[in-house]
Amino acid sequence: MFKRSWPVLLIFVSMISVQASASFAKYLFPVLGPEAMTAWRLFFSAILLVIIFKPWRKTITKPAIKYIILYGVAMGCMNLAFYNAISRIPIGIAVAIELTGPIMVAMFSGRRLTDFIWLAIAIVGLVMLLPIHQASNDLDPIGILLALCAGSCWAGYILFGRKAGEIYGASSVAVGSIVASLLLFPIGVWQSGSNMFSIELLPLVFVVSLLASAIPYGLDMIALPRLPAQTFSTLMSLSPVFAAFSGLIVLHEQLTHYQWLAIMFIIVSSIGTVLTMHRPSKIKAVNREN
């Protein structure tokens, strides 16, 4: 029993690590701000990923350059939009809204009736979270818009990352992280100034980077070759739940029953999309930044 279930346990730990990193990052926003936090997060992640993948061993071809740059820009914008979103709205809600990006990528790859049913369910969840209802009128509309932007960037991250990976291989994530870091670091300095280089905060930022990238990536690399792709994708659909609980425990973010129901609609849409798609039997690697 344990031999079959321990890869699932590792994926759960990986998701907890990713979502906890977002809560700890938000905890540092009053001092660093989301821009500087994003910049440092990508900087440390890029260093860790370069050490893991050693991209200098492989020459970047001209066809790969375009897609790696687009991949890196999408990665940087996705992280920046997400961190700015969670600075305004609860993490669980932001993650649920952001999840619509991968859902849309999956939807556009299908033309069956069930695809539109899952899309309709996701739209219902999104509409429930818009500040046009009394139960959600406390949500910042700009935060919701930023979360939607993060989801759109996540869609681009998937599409450009897939193409870059086909041409250049797994090292694309390391080079793409460098591109994202170069893009975001000047923005972080511009927004936070000298506060960005506070010696007291850098160890905490490094821990956030470990929780967000190195630890979950290592756990995923161990677990994914032993899991069916459909199982992994279904488990990933539960990310908003872990995000909401992380926000509750670390930041004391309370969600209403109505908001929980909206999140459940989006999760059901994601799981339904996964279960009705044709996927390879195994996944060998995964790249996640949130």
| Mean pLDDT along residues 5-24 | 87
Nearest alpha carbon to residue 94 among 104, 81, 76: 81
Bridge partners for 33 per DSSP: none
**What pLDDT, on the 0 to 100 scale, is given for residue 58?**
81
User: pLDDT tens across 113-145, in order?
Assistant: 777 788 788 888 888 887 666 555 678 899 999
Name the band, by pLDDT with cuts 50, 70 and 90, for residue 189.
Answer: very high
pLDDT tens profile 255-266: 888 889 989 998
Instruction: Specify whether the CB–CB gap between 236 and 46 falls below 8 A.
Output: no
pLDDT per residue as tens digits for the range 158-175: 888 888 888 888 788 889
H/E/C letters for each residue in 165-219?
A: HHHHCCCHHHHHHHHHHHHHHHHHHHHHHHHHHCCCCHHHHHHHHHHHHHHHHHH
Give backbone dihedrals phi and psi of 228, rounded to 5 degrees, phi first.
-60, 145
- Give domain limits for the chain: 2-275
Please give the single-letter amino acid code of residue 157: Y
Sequential DSSP letters for 72-107: HHHHHHHHHHHHHHHTTS-HHHHHHHHTHHHHHHHH
Of 277, 272, 22, nearest in space to 147 by CA: 22
Contact status, residue 62 vs residue 168, Cβ threshold 8 Å: no
pLDDT, residue 289, reads 55
> What is the average pLDDT score of the chain?
83
